Amino acid sequence: MLSRFLTFVASLLVGAFLGAIALPERLFWQGACTGLLVSALFWFCMDLIRGLSVLHWLQFEGAKDAPTQWGLWGRVTDRIRRLLRERDRENQASAQRLQQFLSAIQASPNGVLLLDAQDRIEWCNEMAAQHLGIEIARDLAQLIGNLVRDPDFSAYLHRAQYETEVVIAGRDHRPNHPVRISLQMFPYGEGRRLLLTRDITAIEQSEAMRRDFVANVSHEIRTPLTVLAGFVETLQNLPLSEPEREKYLGLMSQQAQRMQTLVQDLLTLSRLEGSPLPTHQEWIPALAMWHSCEAEGRALSSLLKPPEGPAQDVVFEASGLDACEVAGSRTELLSAMSNLVSNAIRYTPAGGRVHVSCQLQESGQIVFAVEDSGPGIAPEHISRITERFYRVDRSRSRETGGTGLGLAIVKHVVQRHGGHLTIQSVVGQGSRFAFELPADRVHLLQP
Task: Tell me, letter by letter, the H, E, C secondary structure of 187-204.
Answer: EECCCEEEEEEEECHHHH
Cα separation, 266 vs 261, in Å, equals 9
Last residue of a domain, which of 60, 81, 101?
Answer: 101
Share of the chain above pLDDT 90, in %: 19
Task: Find residue 326's DSSP bridge partners.
Answer: 284, 442
pLDDT band, residue 96 (cuts 50/70/90): confident
Contact between residue 58 and residue 76 where contact means Cβ atoms under 8 Å apart = no
Per DSSP, the residues of 288-357 read HHHHHHHHHHHHHHHHT--SSSPPPEEEEEEESGGGEEEES-HHHHHHHHHHHHHHHHHHSPTT-EEEEE
Query: Which domain CATH number covers 186?
Result: 3.30.450.20
Q: What spatial distance separates the first Cα and last Cα of the chain, rounded to whole Å?
A: 100
Q: What's the pLDDT at 346?
A: 87
Above 70 in pLDDT, residue 319? Answer: yes
User: Could you tell me if 188 and 230 lie in one domain?
Assistant: no
CA distances to 63, 98, 363 from 88, rounded to whole Å, are: 10, 15, 63
User: How large is the average pLDDT for residues 76-80?
Assistant: 71
Last residue of a domain, which of 253, 275, 297?
Answer: 275
User: Could you tell me if 405 and 304 lie in one domain?
Assistant: yes
Which amino acid is present at 217? V
Contact between residue 286 and residue 321 where contact means Cβ atoms under 8 Å apart = yes
User: Could you tell me if 288 and 267 lie in one domain?
Assistant: no
Cα separation, 322 vs 309, in Å, equals 37
User: Could you tell me if 299 and 399 lie in one domain?
Assistant: yes
Cα separation, 211 vs 219, in Å, equals 12
For residue 379, what is the enclosing H or E element?
Answer: helix 379-382
Q: What's the pLDDT at 336?
A: 92
Beta strand pairing call for 442-444 and 353-360: unpaired
User: Could you tell me if 238 and 357 lie in one domain?
Assistant: no
Q: What's the pLDDT at 139?
A: 86
180-188 sheet: strands from edge to edge: 121-124, 111-115, 192-199, 180-188, 166-169
CA-based nearest residue to 333, from 293, 273, 362, 298: 293
Q: What's the pLDDT at 15?
A: 62
User: How large is the average pLDDT for residues 273-287?
Assistant: 85
User: How large is the average pLDDT for residues 125-145?
Assistant: 87
**158-186: string of b/e by CB count within 10 Å (b at 16+)?**
eeeebeeebbbebeeeeeeeeebbbbbbe
Where are the extended beta strands (E) located within 104-228?
Answer: 111-115, 121-124, 166-169, 180-188, 192-199
Contact between residue 39 and residue 10 where contact means Cβ atoms under 8 Å apart = no
What average pLDDT is seen over the chain?
Answer: 81
Per residue in 6-41, pLDDT (tens digit) is 665 666 666 666 665 665 655 556 666 766 676 777
Per residue in 383-423, pLDDT (tens digit) is 888 887 777 765 544 454 556 788 988 999 999 999 999 99
User: Could you tell me if 118 and 162 lie in one domain?
Assistant: yes
> Please, which residues have CB within 8 angstroms of residue 388's CB and are 6 or more apart in sequence?
209, 213, 216, 269, 404, 405, 408
Q: What's the pLDDT at 133?
A: 86
Last residue of a domain, which of 275, 304, 320?
Answer: 275
Contact between residue 248 and residue 235 where contact means Cβ atoms under 8 Å apart = yes
pTM of the shown model:
0.56
Per residue in 46-63, pLDDT (tens digit) is 666 676 776 666 666 554
DSSP state of 175: T
Number of domains in the chain: 4
Task: Provide the residue range defining the domain that includes 160.
Answer: 108-199
Task: Find residue 197's DSSP bridge partners.
Answer: 111, 183
User: Could you tell me if 172 and 234 lie in one domain?
Assistant: no
pLDDT band, residue 205 (cuts 50/70/90): confident
Query: Which domain CATH number covers 231?
Result: 1.10.287.130
| Residue 310: count of CB within 10 angstroms of its CB | 11
Per residue in 323-374, pLDDT (tens digit) is 899 999 998 999 999 999 988 998 888 888 999 999 999 888 999 999 999 8
User: Could you tell me if 88 and 181 lie in one domain?
Assistant: no
User: Could you tell me if 252 and 285 lie in one domain?
Assistant: no
Question: Comparing 259 with 375, which gets the higher pLDDT?
Answer: 375
